[in-house]
Structure 1
Amino acid sequence: MAFDLVFFGGTGDLVWRKLMPALFQAYRHDTLPEGGRIIGVGRDELSDEQYRLQIQMRFEQVDGAKRPNSEEFARFASLLCYVRMDLTNPEAYAKLKTRLSEREANSVVMYLSTAPSLFTTVCEQLAASGLNTPQTRIVLEKPLGHDLASNRAINEAVGKVFKEQQIFRIDHYLGKPAVQNLFAMRFGNALFEPLWRREHIANIQITMSEELGVEKRGAFYETTGALRDMVQNHALQLLCAIAMEPPINAHADAIRDEKLKVLRSLKRWTPETLNQHVIRGQYAPGIIDGKPVPAYREEAGVHPDSSTETFVALRTEIANWRWAGVPFYIRTGKRMASHEAHIHINFRSTPHEIFKNPAGQFNTLVIHLQPKDGLELHLFAQDQSKRNQAGSNNALSPVHLDLDFDKRFGSQRVGAYERLLLDVLGGRLNLFVRSDEQEEAWRWVEPILHHWRFDALGPRPYGAGTWGPSAASAMIARDGFCWSEET
């Protein structure tokens, strides 16, 4: 299946750091379709050979196991070529059309790894140049807008040029193996579905934490913040995967229909819940890995009086029969105590206690997303070594079953961007976001943004290297629960 994959922003950070390494892994795993060509598009004056050399130099900064040797790269580099373009110049698109017309491809993928402000321009110029053929697919990177109105404007502009089934709105979290296994666990097994409801689940926690700060992206982060960067897309997509009803089949629209129902069922915000159930924070100076790190306001590109949030914790509920009354907690932030992403499904206590469980502990299913990838099921059992101790007959101890996907399926499993790029080339939309999903997520997030705009208190400070402001712990404690690391 011959394909042309065009990277707009082909010399940018995302392409060399994530996309090219992912394509190389697919090439190494022999899963990249044959007859492919990868075209980098950028403003720099480069020949094909200079572009290949630039990518080779960038590959030296990739993790060792994913780094090609010289022979491997030489073979992979034969797929790479380059077109110099000013994306705002309509005449430049003729150069791309000429390059694409050099051969016949079954599919042409246009990957927009550019500033979102260019999405509309690029799509309009692709149409004006006749490059929006039925064989063309367009990939849009986040963020798709900064609010509901801008998101709608982008979707409408792209929708005038491409059909919905040609548009791939990418969210790399959906490509993670653990997220795909969440669907498999829920809908491919009979074990959990009878328990997956309010009668048995006490609360669900989604945590996505980073030790890193904003690094060199201070100016970008000033206009984005944690709510737009992580909650509106990644966190809500994970919530949908957990809470959705079983789809009628495994087709893309059946899955996305069910996710949309979840987003529409999220409880709407009120002035009271906005004050009590949404916590924003901003990291202050602190210690990470034994080294002092600066406050967010001291980072390059950040305003010294910035009110941009680097941390968000919130509580929400889903107003339907399956989940009524079950709190969902979402927490994400930079410069936190560790780099990890996980989902904790905490089950209710037994209805009639005949054994003494460890204080404050629940049966819990933990879905690890990063850096570990797998499932843990936390249970209770009798410690037979204590059977003869006084009062120990009814006491239980925590035990857990651990499924490490890397150990079970091998360390050369398909990464998130590798999976998603292969799905784009194969025309599979299951792991991509539909426009109505995206708009519904923005609709739910907007009242928070509006509330913060008029909140004079600003974000709460928290020390770098901690789990965020204490108000986040107080929020969940009002329900009688605590975050997973506090148990």
Structure 2
Amino acid sequence: MEVVSGMQNEKVALFIIFGGSGDLARRKLYPSLFRLYQKGYLSRHFAVIGTARRPWENDYYRQIVVDSLNDIQATDEQIAEFAGHFYYQSHDVTNAAHYTVLKKLADTLDQKYQLQHNRIYYLAMSPNFFGTIAKHLKSEQILTTAGFNRLIIEKPFGHDYESAAELNQQIRASFEEDQIYRIDHYLGKEMVQNIAAIRFGNNIIESLWNNRYIDNIQITLSEALGVEERAGYYESAGAMRDMVQNHISQIATLLAMEPPVSFSARDIRHEKIKVLRSLHIDTPEEAQHNFVRGQYGPAVIDGQRLEGYREANNVASDSKTETYVAGKMEFENYRWAGVPFYVRTGKRLAKKETRVDIVYKQLPTNIFKAAQDDNKLGHNILTIFIEPTEGFSLRVNAKRLGQGFATRPVDLNFRHSAAATGNSPEAYERLLLDAMNGDSTNFTHWDELSQTWKFADVVEKVWSENTPTDFPNYASGSMGPKAADELLARDGRHWIFSAQPK
């Protein structure tokens, strides 16, 4: 475990978590805060107020926090000391009087723990209440003037561009843009953050990172599980809004952006926004041609029946919601003109795998073709493995052992060890620490969101006007609908990652 000098690195802040009784708080926020506590980033000068409508007492709430840490190795004394910094307030976010009580508790804890009026507001609840909460935080004077005020908000940030713009306007009435931290947990993943190091830290990579040498880039976010308990949410979102508009678009942006002037939040954000301005917004006809949607059906694998999406709780028996998306993104700038970014994501696929495959162009001539069985050299491919394994590989062509000069593809591999990844900070842990440090590098700016919503809205509108008649169109445990393979085959290409059904 990483050990830091407590006093030198200790962060001072009051966390107010709206939705403190919810699943996100229990699964992600409390364990992440505790890991920061174990490492010394949080020590004596922090406190947490959890709010929700339930009429809990402090002791009951603290037991909820303790129970959320069951999978973390720690002493009972350490856990008890940590949980002692947590306080609960039953709270109706629409009731202004409740904010008066919240302000009194916040001010009391500020004095008790010497928090220097630093406050982080985490909205771990329905986005329907984001604007209301932001409004009352300002009107009831919970925002401080002496310390910092930072607002962390979860997706979904709107349902389309129009609703996202309205929500942004509501929040900006109380918070400045540099106080808003729109969290995308994929930006906290080790190998997503490694994209910058691989690109900008290696001349051999960056000098070939353009349309002269790269044929196409493929981004795969494949999930083996179905929608599970998120079915109700998924019915209103679908894979495009849940994964493509945010996570996949952010990864594509990091791959496509120009080198920043410095590795600072401002300069990185500038380049991300600039490249997103070059993202081609499809016409309806192009969207129809460039995007494929799917929905998983039932299957029997190894004698076990897997239910189809329409059989899940809170899902309509004739649901038209997509659980799979494959498509093509294009950046219309000097570096990337003519290079397609193929993206895909889906539920209940053959294997859990998040990766990026950068496929380089073939050599203009093959001097070994007389010695080749198939008269072809394979593409060089740089693969960035994001999860469940973390690392990267480079596929090159090498001579086969023995007589002659027949070649074969060879992968030069690097993988982080299980011990290393086990001690690596979890995504929420990284992002919470970034927010405490005031570092917005790995958070999403409104100008980024506005562009990705405009891109996704065209596809969503086309789909809303053309009801699918073939759902479900892929079996659980497969790699998605056949149309996704045909999408690349039309361009004379194929998906690099292909997992066989279990």
* TM-score strictly above 0.5: yes
Closer/same/farther in 2, CA of residues 441 and 33 from structure 1, 3 Å limit: farther
Find 1:361's aligned residue among 378, 382, 391: 378
For residues 263 and 231 of structure 1, do their structure 2 counterparts lie closer, same or farther at Cα, with a shift above 3 Å needed? same
Equivalent residue, structure 2, for 1:133: 144
| Partner of residue 226, structure 1 | 239
2:365 and 2:475 mapped to 1: Cα distance?
Answer: 42
In structure 1, distance between residues paired with 2:77 and 2:306: 41
RMSD, matched Cα: 1.8
Q: Which residue of 2 aligns with 1:311?
A: 324
Q: Tell me by how many angstroms 1:460 deviates.
A: 5.5
Q: Any idea what SS the aligned residue of 1:192 has?
A: helix
What do the CA deviations read for 1:233-281 (whole angstroms, capped 9, x no partner)?
0000000000100111122121112111222212221233222210000
Matched, 1:340 2:353: yes
1:474 maps to what in 2?
486
Q: Which amino acid letter does the alignment assign opposite residue 346 of structure 2?
A: G
Q: Which moved more, 1:307-316 or 1:18-27?
A: 18-27
Query: Is the aligned partner of 1:111 residue 2:115?
Result: no
The residue type paired with residue 489 of structure 2 is: A
Point out the more displaced range, 26-35 or 156-165: 26-35
User: Displacement, 1:27?
Assistant: 1.9
Residues 315 and 329, structure 1, Cα contact 8 Å, conserved in 2:
yes
Contact 1:406 1:413 survives alignment (8 Å): no
For residue 206 of structure 2, the aligned residue among 176, 179, 193 is 193
With structure 2 as the length reference, what TM-score do the two structures score?
0.91
**CA deviations over 1:15-73 (Å, ceiling 9, x no partner):** 1011111112222233336511122111111222111112222333xxx4x35453332
Counterpart of 1:375 (choices 380, 392, 399) is: 392
For structure 1, which segment, 248-257 or 144-153, has the greater mean C-alpha deviation from structure 2 after superposition? 248-257
**Structure 1 residue 351: Cα displacement:** 2.2
User: 1:56 is matched with which residue: 39, 43, 66?
Assistant: 66
In the other structure, the counterpart of 1:77 is 83
| Residue 352 (1) aligns with residue 392 (2) | no
Following the alignment from structure 2 to structure 1, what is the Cα–Cα distance between the partners of residues 170 and 64?
34
For residues 77-116 of structure 1, the C-alpha deviation after alignment (integer angstroms, 9 at most, x for no partner) is 1222212111111111111111110124232000000100
Q: Distance in 2 between matches of 1:418 and 1:242?
A: 24
Q: Which range moves more in the overlay, 202-211 or 16-25?
A: 16-25
Aligned partners of 1:189 and 1:98: how far apart in 2? 53
- What is the alpha-carbon distance in structure 2 between the residues aligned to residue 171 and residue 288 of structure 1? 33
User: Which range moves more in the overlay, 21-30 or 106-115?
Assistant: 21-30
Deviations 1:358-410 (A, max 9, x none): 757321111111111111111122233xx23xxxx221122222222346956
Given the alignment of the two structures, is residue 302 of structure 1 paired with residue 319 of structure 2, yes or no?
Answer: no
Give the TM-score taking structure 1 as reference length.
0.94
For residues 76 and 291 of structure 1, do their structure 2 counterparts lie closer, same or farther at Cα, with a shift above 3 Å needed? farther
Contact persistence 2:297–2:472 (CA under 8 A): no
Is the CA contact 1:375–1:403 (under 8 Å) kept in the aligned structure 2?
Answer: yes
CA deviation profile, 1:150-191 (whole Å, cap 9, x unmatched): 100111111110111110000000010101111111122222
- 3-state SS of 2:228 partner: coil
- Separation in structure 1 between the aligned mates of residue 388 and residue 323 of structure 2, nearest angstrom: 21
Give the whole-Å Cα distance in 1 for the aligned partners of 2:64 and 2:43.
24
Match of 1:276 among 289, 301, 306: 289
Change over 3 Å in CA distance of 1:368–1:35 after alignment to 2: same
1:464 aligns with 2:476: yes
Q: In 2, Cα distance between the equivalents of 1:232 and 1:340?
A: 19
Contact 1:109–1:139 (Cα < 8 Å) also in 2: yes
Q: Indicate yes or no: 2:92 matched with 1:86.
A: yes
- The alignment-based identity, stated in percent, is 40
Q: Matches of 2:368 and 2:77 in 1, distance apart?
A: 63
What does residue 101 of structure 1 align with?
A: 107
Structure 1 stretch displaced more, 104-113 or 304-313: 104-113
- The answer to whether the 8 A contact 2:219-2:342 is kept is yes
CA distance in 1, matches of 2:392, 2:15: 35
User: Unpaired segments of 5 or more residues in structure 2?
Assistant: 1-10
- Structure 2 distance, partners of 1:30, 1:199, is 48
- Take 2:168 and 2:343, find their aligned partners in 1: how far apart are those partners? 27
The SS at the match of 1:484 is coil
Cα distance in 2 between the residues matched to 1:361 and 1:159: 51
CA contact (8 A) 2:223 2:348 kept: yes
Please name the residue that 1:212 is paired with.
225
Q: Partners of 1:375 and 1:297 in 2: how far apart?
A: 37
For 2:302 and 2:335, locate their aligned partners in 1 and report how far apart those are by CA, in whole Å. Answer: 42
- Alpha carbons of structure 1 residues 28 and 276: separation in structure 2 relative to 1, 3 Å: same
Count the aligned residue pairs: 477
Alpha-carbon spacing, 1:241–1:38, altered in 2? closer, same or farther (3 Å)? same
Residues 132, 162 of structure 1: 8 Å contact kept: no
| Distance (Å, rounded) in 1 between the aligned partners of 2:73 and 2:319 | 39
The one-letter code sitting in structure 1 at the alignment partner of 2:257 is: M
Task: Return closer, same or farther for 1:355/1:69 CA change in 2, 3 Å cut-off.
Answer: farther
Cα deviations across residues 94-151 of structure 1 (Å, max 9, x unaligned)? 1111111012423200000010000001001101111223521000100001011110
Q: Structure 1 CA distance, aligned partners of 2:384 and 2:167?
A: 34
Contact 1:280/1:460 (8 A) holds in 2? no
CA contact (8 A) 1:173 1:234 kept: yes
The CA distance in 2 between the partners of 1:82 and 1:156, in whole Å, is 30
Q: State the distance in 1 between where 2:468 and 2:229 align.
A: 27
How far apart, in 2, do the equivalents of 1:76 and 1:285 lie?
45
2:127–2:156: 8 Å Cα contact kept in structure 1? yes
Amino acid at match of 1:344: D
- In structure 2, distance between residues paired with 1:406 and 1:105: 39
Describe how 1:13-52 pairs up with structure 2 within 5 A. 13-32=23-42, 34-52=44-62
Tell me, yes or no, if the aligned pair for 2:66 and 2:80 is still in contact at 8 Å: no
**CA separation in 1, counterparts of 2:249 and 2:181?**
18
**1:338-373 C-alpha deviation (Å, 9 max, x unpaired):** 111100001111222123577573211111111111
**Partners of 1:355 and 1:395 within 8 A in 2:** yes
Deviations 1:310-360 (A, max 9, x none): 000001211111111111101001011111110000111122212357757
- Return closer, same or farther for 1:401/1:75 CA change in 2, 3 Å cut-off: farther
Aligned-residue offset at 1:457: 2.8
SS at match of 1:235: helix
Paired with 1:421 and 1:259, the residues of 2 have a C-alpha distance of 22
Q: Are the counterparts in 2 of residues 211 and 288 from structure 1 also a CA contact under 8 Å?
A: no
Matched to 1:423, the amino acid is: D
Q: Does structure 2 retain, via aligned residues, the 8 Å contact 1:207–1:331? A: yes
Counterparts of 1:283 and 1:404 in 2: how far apart (Å)?
32
Unmatched tracts of structure 1, length 5 or more: none
